Amino acid sequence: MNEVKYKIGIDIGGTNIKMGVVNDKNEIIAKKSIKTDVKLGYIKIIKNMANAIKELLYLHKIDLNNCISIGIGCPGTVNFKTGEILFAANLLWEGVPLAEELKKNIDLPIKVSNDANCAALGEAIAGGAKGVHNMVLITLGTGVGGGVIIDGKIYEGGSPGGVELGHTVLVVDGEQCTCGRKGCFEAYASATALIRDTKRAAEKNPNSLINELCSKNLSKINGLTPFEAARLGDEEGIAIIDRYIMHLAEGIIDIVNIFRPEKILLSGGIANQGDALIEPLKKYVKKYTFAGDKIHVADIKQATLGNDAGIIGAANL
Ligand SMILES: [Zn+2]
């Protein structure tokens, strides 16, 4: 009888490290999460990660000999050839030999890629773009990240640092971006940008419903506040959402014009707005994409796997 061969997927985040055992049908059959204690330093963090994997396997009676590989999705800039993390700001990591260090603890083949790349691969294998060979995932969170899948594989670029979809400029000399440049896609389409614009609008127009929704405490404004205001017919809310969708659409059109993917998936809290976000977005993208009236324009949908995307994608590196 053939033993099922398992793959291990790990998704490192600034708060938690999530790991899972994935079977040959790309189902997660066992999962575990540990806290990322950044203060411990990378050697201890990686050691804890290895111990957590061993515990998980033991708990589910899975023999390490039946596992064929480990894949890791990590935030920051990754050298996918060597498995080194060049830098990851939220982990305070610089030049961390992640694959090499983990291999000292668990002797399996180990591959590493950026976390957004892994999420894109996971969605293409088992999620909202299942069976689609050319797709792009855009994550709308604190920043704007993403992954590009070409012919079923992550597009890594020729050297580390590629596919920073959030740091393409939409507005020359526009809003300040965290990367040092001004006017990046991220500085307009992230949740952070949406909150910034909502706060500004609330300050400028104290009669706006936004001020009521946050009980006149602007620090309570989150990414959902302007959507809620717009839904209730508030003019300021509607204007913020219209502008947000315009910027998001313009960024997506650039991506479509370059890659012409079959599908675009959106993930992150803002993507949960569903049709209120996606329907007007689709219309705008279709209208302004190059030859959008003649050639197929990528369908835009919400990603479906949530946190599992990163684990499944990493396991398939
Ligand atoms: Zn930037």
Calculate how far, in angstroms, residue 15's C-alpha sits from the geometric centre of ligand 1. 23
Express each pLDDT in 172-193 by its tens digit. 999 999 999 999 999 999 999 9
Calculate how far, in angstroms, residue 47's C-alpha sits from the geometric centre of ligand 1. 33
pLDDT at 218: 94
β-strands 28-35, 6-12 pairing:
unpaired
Q: Is the pLDDT of residue 2 over 70?
A: no
Calculate what percentage of the chain has a pLDDT beyond 90. 91
Calculate how far, in angstroms, residue 170's C-alpha sits from the geometric centre of ligand 1. 10
Nearest Cα to 49, choosing from 317, 316, 290, 314? 314
Asked whether the domain spanning 135-302 has the same topology as the one spanning 6-126+308-315, the reply is yes
Calculate how far, in angstroms, residue 80's C-alpha sits from the geometric centre of ligand 1. 22
Calculate how far, in angstroms, residue 286's C-alpha sits from the geometric centre of ligand 1. 26
Calculate how far, in angstroms, residue 175's C-alpha sits from the geometric centre of ligand 1. 10
Does this model's pTM top 0.95? no
> What is the average pLDDT across 153-172?
93
Q: What fold characterizes domain 6-126+308-315?
A: Nucleotidyltransferase; domain 5 (3.30.420)
Residues with CB under 5 A from ligand 1 (ion): 167, 177, 179, 181, 184
Query: Are residues 46 and 100 in contact, defined by beta-carbon separation less than 8 angstroms?
Result: no
Express each pLDDT in 218-236 by its tens digit. 999 999 999 999 999 999 9
Calculate how far, in angstroms, residue 176's C-alpha sits from the geometric centre of ligand 1. 8
Q: Where are the domains of the chain?
A: 6-126+308-315, 135-302
Residue whose entry in the numeric block shows the structure tokens 């830098």: 87
Residue whose entry in the numeric block shows the structure tokens 């020359």: 172
Calculate how far, in angstroms, residue 63's C-alpha sits from the geometric centre of ligand 1. 44
| Domain 135-302, CATH class in plain words | alpha beta
**Number of C-beta neighbours around residue 294 at 10 A:** 7
Provide the edge-to-edge strand list for the sheet that holds 299-302: 153-154, 144-150, 135-140, 263-267, 299-302
Average pLDDT, the chain: 95
pLDDT at 293: 87
Calculate how far, in angstroms, residue 178's C-alpha sits from the geometric centre of ligand 1. 6
Calculate how far, in angstroms, residue 227's C-alpha sits from the geometric centre of ligand 1. 25
Express each pLDDT in 260-316 by its tens digit. 999 999 999 899 999 999 999 999 999 999 998 888 899 999 999 998 999 999 999
Q: Is the pLDDT of residue 147 over 90?
A: yes
Got the DSSP string for 194-257? HHHHHHHHHHH-TTSHHHHHTTT-GGG--TTHHHHHHHTT-HHHHHHHHHHHHHHHHHHHHHHH
Calculate how far, in angstroms, residue 288's C-alpha sits from the geometric centre of ligand 1. 23
Q: Is the pLDDT of residue 161 over 90?
A: no
Calculate how far, in angstroms, residue 89's C-alpha sits from the geometric centre of ligand 1. 14
Calculate how far, in angstroms, residue 212's C-alpha sits from the geometric centre of ligand 1. 33
